[in-house]
Structure 1
Amino acid sequence: MARLNSLFTAFLTIAASTQKLGINLIRVAILVIFVWIGGLKFWNYEAEGIVPFVANSPFMSFFYTKSAPEYKEYKLKEGEFDEAKHQWHEENNTYGFSHGLGILIMTIGILTFLGIFSPKIGLIGAGLAIIMTLGTLSFLVTTPEVWVPDLGSGEHGFPLLTGAGRLVIKDVAILAGALVVLSDSARSILKQQNKG
């Protein structure tokens, strides 16, 4: 029993010592997710896919020239091309907005990652990541497409998430990770100030 307790204590000691590694891995994860997702915003299928979120958002809909729910007539499946629908998206600023959003998302991911080397830069990145994920989570309230529609099965509405809703809900984990990174950056900045 003493041997088992000793092994468990050794395990706890090792686990406790990995906290900084874990926080830095959160930074790396945010970098990978944000750079990858941000980069996808330069592809038409991704730009077209975010239209329901942006068009229904009271915070972002002004980036588009067309009003919701007009976009429903111009939806495209991933990988599909239709010249008339593509032209509508051109006129709507679908692609231009998506490119700008992609740059913003990638920048936030890079700033958050750089917190490994500079707590002040990391603090800015984590703060922006928190704001962005709160914005994304607001789609659960503003976007009808995140909930299963009533098509006769009796299974619809809250809490039944569609593919779009499942895409959004993952930001709860990113929000938690960004908060941990923000706290770590703030702690490092305070430590530097106390030394000075």
Structure 2
Amino acid sequence: MFDLLAKLESQFVNFLRIAIFIVMVWIGGLKAFHYEADGIVPFVANSPFMSFFYNKEAPEYQKFKNPEGKEVAANIAWHKENGTYMFSYFLGSVIVLIGVLTVLGIFLPRTGIWGGLLTFGMSIVTLSFLITTPEVYVPNLGGDSPTPHYGFPFLSGAGRLVLKDIIMMAAGLVCAADCAKRIQGITRLRFQEK
């Protein structure tokens, strides 16, 4: 069994590339829909790296949240003024591109290294939301519990979703390292042929 697992290592790395591709294309593609664009507003609006993409400042967005699966015309108008949808289309395209670059690493290691490194970089930005976005922690809604369960370290649904990006960060580095190793192997082979 150990021999089999060792022999399949390169296939497992390719599976990792395919997994990154699926997640990136799916999530990136969803950025074309209002509910997903609305859902990223707290992250973008509170981020020192991204908030300049919006026209309105945090926390104004809190008054214009659309419940998932429902669209309120006044809220949509606010999001259009904010630049929510245009930014989401742009971000979605970038995410899909990163997924494509990563999966191309199966065949093109020089392309795949960029996909892996960009996956790593995107994950750093996403994980920064754990510091900048209040909505990633359970809010204090009151209650009679003698031990309150809000604030750090109690992650909300949004926080649990963000934390998972540490896996994408590691996966991006594994894919980039594999591409680098393959590029080195090709370079050595060419050097030996001369």
Compute the TM-score of the two structures, normalised by the length of structure 1: 0.94
Residue 189 of structure 2 is aligned with which of 168, 185, 195? 195
Percent identity over the alignment is 52
Q: CA deviation at 1:57?
A: 0.1
Aligned counterpart, 1:156:
150
Structure 1 vs Structure 2 CA RMSD: 0.7
Structure 1 stretches of 4+ moved >6 Å: none
**1:174 is aligned with what amino acid?**
M
Aligned residue pairs, count? 186
Counterpart secondary structure, 1:161: coil
Counterpart secondary structure, 2:105: helix
Residue 130 of structure 1 is aligned with which of 120, 136, 145? 120
In the alignment, does 2:30 pair up with 1:36? Answer: no
Gaps of 5+ in 1: 1-10
Match runs of 1:79-94 below 5 Å: 79-94=69-84
Aligned counterpart, 1:78:
68
In the alignment, does 2:4 pair up with 1:14? Answer: yes
Counterpart secondary structure, 1:138: helix
Gaps of 5+ in 2: none
Residue 96 of structure 1 is aligned with which of 80, 86, 90? 86
Aligned counterpart, 1:146:
136
Residue 45 of structure 1 is aligned with which of 35, 43, 58? 35
Aligned counterpart, 1:58:
48
**2:117 is aligned with what amino acid?**
G
More deviation, 33-42/171-180: 171-180
Deviations 1:144-184 (A, max 9, x none): 00000111142101111101001101101111111110100
| CA distance, structure 1, for counterparts of residue 124 and residue 18 of structure 2 | 20
| CA distance, structure 1, for counterparts of residue 129 and residue 188 of structure 2 | 41
Counterpart secondary structure, 2:26: helix
